[in-house]
Amino acid sequence: MENYRQSSQRQLLLKLISEVNGHIDAKELYRRANAQGNSVSTATVYRSLNLFKELGIVDERSLGQRHYCYEVSGKLDHCHVVCQGCGKIVEFETPLVNQLVEAAQREHGFNITKTELYLKGYCPWCERERELSLRH
């Protein structure tokens, strides 16, 4: 039987993930969980993320990065832009994703349960840095 401490830590982690309104990686989640005066171990963070993933509450995304980030699941209709410079991820909603899902379902009879779409490039800040360094 699981104890109260475990389940309350899991609730805290889930709350933090839903609060970011976007994506968070395990390291940042660990930092935020412990910034609030709690002591949540890295093992608990990873175990909880795995559990959330299994339960389908949270989506794990790699988005072409070397590490995973997490977001509350259930949002099929969005796309990501990922900065190659600083790793920042911005998501935006577009009806195109839904159209793509519908086309795949219609043409191939699949029930699409997950989309992972991302575009890579440089954010305005990194792009400016790049321009500056190219000029010198």
- The footprint of Zn ion (CB under 5 A) covers 71, 83, 85-86, 88, 91, 123, 126
What residues contact residue 5 under an 8 Å CB cut-off, 6+ apart?
none
- Give min distance, CB of 90 to Zn ion, in A: 9
- Give min distance, CB of 109 to Zn ion, in A: 26
Residue 117: DSSP 8-state: -
Nearer to Zn ion, 20 or 83 (CB): 83
Nearer to Zn ion, 72 or 104 (CB): 72
- Give min distance, CB of 113 to Zn ion, in A: 15
Read off φ and ψ for residue 92, nearest 5 degrees.
Answer: -140, 150
Q: Cα–Cα distance between 28 and 94 in angstroms, integer? A: 27
